Amino acid sequence: LYKLSSEQLSQQRHYDFGLRAVKSVLVMAGEAKRSRSDLPEDAILIGAMRDANLPKYLDDDLPLFNAIVRDLFPRSEIPMKEHKELEAGISMALRKDNKQEIPAFMNKVVQLFETFQVRFGVMLVGPPGGGKSTIYRTLQSAMNDLKEAGSQDERFQRVHTHVLNPKSVTMGELYGEVNKLTQEWKNGLASSIMREVIKDASEDKHWVTFDGPVDALWIENMNTVLDDNMTLCLSNGERIKLKSEMRMLFEVQDLEVASPATVSRVGIVFVAPSQLGYLPYLHSWILRYTEPTKDEKKGDGDPLVAEKEVLVLPDS
Ligand SMILES: Nc1ncnc2c1ncn2[C@@H]1O[C@H](COP(=O)(O)OP(=O)(O)OP(=O)(O)O)[C@@H](O)[C@H]1O
Ligand SMILES: [Mg+2]
């Protein structure tokens, strides 16, 4: 399957069909086997192969991939995984945040959740405005809500995000450096965040989010983090061992300059703007301005709101 996929699908920098990808399939299959022991083993394996790969494909490659799976395993009918609880949580989180419940968008949130289960580092890849930030924020708020509502599923825990832009600071400021004049060690942004996070002894999850372009320099230091040993090595020889509750989340536009070593270490969720379109954005915008208008009718709005109403009404 992987050989055919790498030959027939389009060439993308974020596609990877190496051994690490196979390992994540095995982890996923193992989990599925434990939770659904009624299914035959080959169906579980094929399902895991499909679920591990779908998140990263472009829209055009999806039918091709499905065709390859059908050709290779013509007789097996593999049920889709169910996420009733999570989907309810996502719907609630979207409504609370005045966002539209687009099926393709909610599917991406579920895929992000699934990828988080099998990978330590996850990249949300896609052009600007595709809803990458909204996807992880929605998942975060859905998981918080589910935990609050007393969900039995231990995968839902309270989530904290730590967002930083790796390209807005220098390498030294990111990971720490030795001051050349005083020979003193100065802590970096990423390393101090991680040091803070590992002090937390609770079950809460922490997502360290790198929101900004990937380049070969800063991401190479993350390679040891994204490995199975999960250790951040700093240039003063210090090693920070990260916890399994943590996740590294990268929000990037493309992986043009990322090395294959990095790409193979992370799980990838591709977010195409075409899945969202502009309509949800418009609907949310209209809703945002129509609600104050009701207050205005009651007589406790301010004149500014009235002005916005004039702007909005012709559209709606
Ligand atoms: N389901 C939705 N319904 C309504 N509006 C949405 C939805 N998802 C995203 N949006 C809106 O689309 C806009 C772009 O989303 P977002 O900021 O998440 O994109 P992004 O991919 O993170 O962009 P960037 O690459 O610039 O960081 C936001 O204003 C967000 O409010
Ligand atoms: Mg964003």
Tens of pLDDT, residue by residue over 135-176, are 889 999 988 888 888 777 778 888 888 898 888 888 888 888
* Domain span at 284: 278-316
Angle ∠(167,172,176) on CA atoms, nearest 5:
120
Angle ∠(163,257,219) on CA atoms, nearest 5:
40
Atom of ligand 1 nearest to the CA of 283: 4
Pocket residues: Cβ below 6 A from ligand 1: 99-100, 102, 105, 126, 128-134, 276, 280-281, 284
Specify whether 268 is located in the same domain as 286.
no
Pocket test for ligand 1, best of 167, 251, 281 (most atoms within 8 A of CB): 281
Counting the structural domains of the chain, the total is 3
Smallest CA-to-CA distance from 49 within 27, 34, 77 is with 27
Q: What is the pLDDT of residue 309?
A: 42
Q: 153 phi and psi, to 5 degrees? A: -70, 120
Q: What is the pLDDT of residue 292?
A: 56
Atom of ligand 1 nearest to the CA of 124: 21
Atom of ligand 1 nearest to the CA of 271: 21
Centre of ligand 2 to C-alpha 57, Å, is 20
Q: What is the pLDDT of residue 312?
A: 41
Q: What is the pLDDT of residue 244?
A: 82
Specify whether 97 is located in the same domain as 179.
yes
Q: What is the pLDDT of residue 217?
A: 80
Q: Whose CA is nearest to atom 25 of ligand 1?
A: 128
Specify whether 296 is located in the same domain as 233.
no
Contact 121, 267 (CB under 8 A): yes
Atom of ligand 1 nearest to the CA of 211: 27
Specify whether 190 is located in the same domain as 301.
no
Specify whether 93 is located in the same domain as 221.
yes
Q: Which of 72, 104, 133 is the last residue of a domain?
A: 72
Q: What is the pLDDT of residue 313?
A: 39
- CATH number, domain containing residue 265: 3.40.50.300
Which parts of the chain have pLDDT scores under 50?
A: 299-316
In a domain, 92, yes or no: yes
Q: What is the pLDDT of residue 243?
A: 83
Centre of ligand 2 to C-alpha 238, Å, is 32
- CATH number, domain containing residue 37: 1.10.8.710
Specify whether 222 is located in the same domain as 171.
yes
Global pTM? Answer: 0.82
In a domain, 77, yes or no: no
In a domain, 239, yes or no: yes
264: tokens are 């193979």
Atom of ligand 1 nearest to the CA of 253: 25
In a domain, 268, yes or no: yes
Centre of ligand 2 to C-alpha 133, Å, is 4
239: tokens are 């090693």
CA 113 to CA 122: how far, in whole Å?
10
CA 120 to chain centre: 11
Centre of ligand 2 to C-alpha 162, Å, is 14
CA 194 to CA 167: how far, in whole Å?
18
In a domain, 78, yes or no: no
CA 46 to CA 36: how far, in whole Å?
14
Specify whether 166 is located in the same domain as 241.
yes
Which residues have their alpha-adjacent CB atom under 5 A from ion ligand 2? 133
Specify whether 166 is located in the same domain as 285.
no
